[in-house]
Structure 1
């Protein structure tokens, strides 16, 4: 959705909709494991993970969270901004496992906007859906600074 900085300044709730589906492949999980040195068997040992509590290898929670910016870029276009900075996370809960091969998509809302210097701190409500399941993978609030 295209939104201007002036529209954000009005501090009215905006439903940004949902992103396209994104498939979390085992290869991505393996690469994240290598980069972070988090090689716990529930992520990378396919045979053991399939017999384990989730029935398949699962993505790292922080791997899934790292996709927030990707989904934001898809859902929110601010044509008059000069800079976007990740300002942090107010709340993040990993509420459901993302299994290798799952398709996920993000539903985002603009919940609150406040002025800070020459920019806007924007609170974005997040619900990361997993195709075919009622329980989301992530719920929370991310903060981004737009100027």
Structure 2
């Protein structure tokens, strides 16, 4: 895991790969809990019997479940110290190139894309790529924005 202390250290790392997280199991239980939390009970996620004959050959994780894993995956890749506060501001771009089959494993990779200094600190754009073990295409590619307040 990479540790960055302050805006200057973060800025120096812009453009370089930061590494990978551990693999995370995508279980039916995780998918079902996400469906319960969000109210998204679409059969491709929560009905293994019906999904077995569907377009993916089984249940798949919600795209937003994959997106919601970014905090845990990112925390295994890097940490930002020396700030009074870090706030998620949003995302510039989120894409889901491949479905995540239940029973697969995913991991994250991260890169600092840009850092814009502001009067109150900085806006950091982080590109995440969530890979599926054994798959050619990623499950998720997203650029998130974090406000860093020293």
Scaled to the shorter chain, the TM-score interval is over 0.9
Question: Which blocks of at least 5 consecutive residues in structure 1 are unaligned?
Answer: none
TM-score (norm 1): 0.94
Equivalent residue number for residue 65 of structure 2 = 63
Distance 2:18 2:72 in 1: 14
Q: What SS does the corresponding residue of 1:65 show, helix, strand or coil?
A: helix
Equivalent residue number for residue 4 of structure 1 = 5
Q: What SS does the corresponding residue of 1:39 show, helix, strand or coil?
A: coil
Equivalent pair of 2:14/2:111 in contact (CA under 8 Å): no
Instruction: Quote how far apart the aligned CAs of 1:117 are.
Output: 2.9
Question: Quick check: 1:117 aligned with 2:107?
Answer: no
Distance 1:117 1:71 in 2: 30
Q: What SS does the corresponding residue of 1:3 show, helix, strand or coil?
A: strand
Distance 2:148 2:75 in 1: 12
Distance 1:10 1:32 in 2: 37
Could you say if the C-alpha distance between residues 62 and 98 of structure 1 is closer, same or farther in structure 2, counting changes exceeding 3 Å?
A: same
Question: How many aligned positions are there?
Answer: 147
Distance 2:73 2:20 in 1: 9
Could you say if the C-alpha distance between residues 38 and 11 of structure 1 is closer, same or farther in structure 2, counting changes exceeding 3 Å?
A: same
Question: Which blocks of at least 5 consecutive residues in structure 2 are unaligned?
Answer: none
Q: Which has the higher strand share?
A: 2
Q: What SS does the corresponding residue of 2:81 show, helix, strand or coil?
A: coil
Could you say if the C-alpha distance between residues 2 and 52 of structure 1 is closer, same or farther in structure 2, counting changes exceeding 3 Å?
A: same
Q: Which structure 1 residue ranges, 4+ long, deviate > 3 Å from structure 2?
A: 9-12
Equivalent pair of 1:92/1:138 in contact (CA under 8 Å): yes
Distance 2:84 2:51 in 1: 44
TM-score (norm 2): 0.92
Distance 1:67 1:26 in 2: 15
Alignment of 1:12-91 (within 5 A): 12-91=14-93
Question: Quick check: 1:97 aligned with 2:99?
Answer: yes
